[in-house]
A = this chain, B = another copy of it.
Amino acid sequence: MQRFALLGAGFIGSVHATNLAAHPDVDFAFVYDVDHDRAAALAERHGATATADLDQAFDSRRVDAVLIASSTDTHAEHLRRGADAGLAVLCEKPIDLDLERATDVVAYATTRSIRAMVDFNRRFDPDYSELKRVVDAGEIGNVELIQLSTRGPSVPPLDYIAVSGGQMRDQTVHFFDLARWISGLDPVEVYATGSTLAEPLLAEYGDVDTSVVTLRLPTGALVQIDSTRRTGYGYDERIEVLGSTGLVEARRRRTGGVSRYHAGTVIDDGLHPGWFERVRPTYAHALEHFVAALEQDQPPSPTLDDGLRAQAVAEAATLSLTSGTVEPVTYSQPLPVGMRPHHGS
């Protein structure tokens, strides 16, 4: 049984709260939020205790693990505090929007040897897990080309955009992580270009809503990612991996399995209306992995270092959007022992 404190009681915090409450091996102890009323309401709904005292949330006598789902600008500080207390930490991405600050706190956490995981939840999508299994089993030979699509139904509010770090750091970063995870390789070079086709006001924030990214992996394998903020047809993710002997694809997911036949057309169920309907189960699966790792005293994955490395790609991609040319990806060096990226093969 793992005792958890949840930091953050907003939308994503409430998602985590539901999963914490439902997990048979979790004792959902505390909820903390800067808005205590919000914490109290969430805690009550799930039989946890709201606390206004961070010391209590990080008290290793009462808590085994913290789940950081607070606002982005607090992640690093919470992570540092969790490390100080020797707690296990499950941290929403990003560790910090500032890569240097993120790198510092990860280095600090590493010296404390805590169990820590960045919540790149899409790795825990059942189709993506199966795709990864197929790749790792060698069923398609060497990875040569990966295509990923991430397409949201509507542009987020501009006040969200303002603090998001931009499309690469906010949206595409999940797919930088997936590309690394699937290939087991760190991109060496990135080219990104984008436009503001859905919302011209994004330009005022130096952001884009429609972009394509090309990554080069050290083997010469290539990665294409397209990211859009407004589709008109729902939330759309797709991955396809071309190998030397075959192809594996995680197809677009439909909401149902009903087909209607009329003259000249067949009408099927469409895609999910939004990202959350599509990826909701992945949060529970990620938590299951994290708890199982703690129970078995194993290192969970993706690691904090995976978080830094995906951010490093996002940094280079963001730079490329502005520079208009290819940018190298620079990772902080050297890798701490035991923090090698999680590779499939």
Task: State the A residues within 8 Å of B (CB).
Answer: 22, 126-127, 130-131, 134, 139-142, 144-145, 147, 151, 189, 191, 193-198, 210-212, 214, 216, 219-222, 224, 226, 228, 230-234, 236, 242-271, 273, 324-326
Contact = CB atoms under 8 A, between A and B. Distances in A.
A197 B142 contact: yes
Given A248-B260, A249-B260, A268-B268, 6 more contacts: A145-B212, A197-B220, A211-B222, A224-B226, A264-B269, A266-B271
Among all A-B residue pairs, the 4 with the closest Cβ atoms: A195-B220, A247-B261, A232-B245, A233-B261
Contacts of A142: 197
A2 to B, nearest CB: 19
Contacts of A197: 142, 144, 219-221, 244
Given A231-B242, A264-B234, A268-B265, A258 B191 contact: no
B261 A253 contact: no
A274 B263 CA distance: 11
Contact of A247 (B130, B221, B233, B248): B233
Given A231-B242, A231-B247, A246-B232, A262 B270 contact: yes
Nearest to A250: B258
Contacts of A196: 220
A85 to B, nearest CB: 31
A233 B193 contact: no
Contacts of A243: 232
Nearest to A141: B232
A260 B139 contact: yes
Contacts of A249: 258-261
A302 to B, nearest CB: 21
B145 A210 contact: yes
Contact of A273 (B234, B256, B263, B273): B263
B258 A134 contact: yes
A236 B270 CA distance: 23
Contacts of A194: 222
Contact of A248 (B22, B130, B212, B258): B258
A265 B269 contact: yes
A253 B127 CA distance: 15
A250 B269 CA distance: 10
A245 B210 CA distance: 14
A210 B232 contact: no
5 contacts: A231-B242, A232-B245, A252-B257, A262-B270, A264-B269
A212 B324 CA distance: 17
Contact of A263 (B193, B234, B258, B267): B234
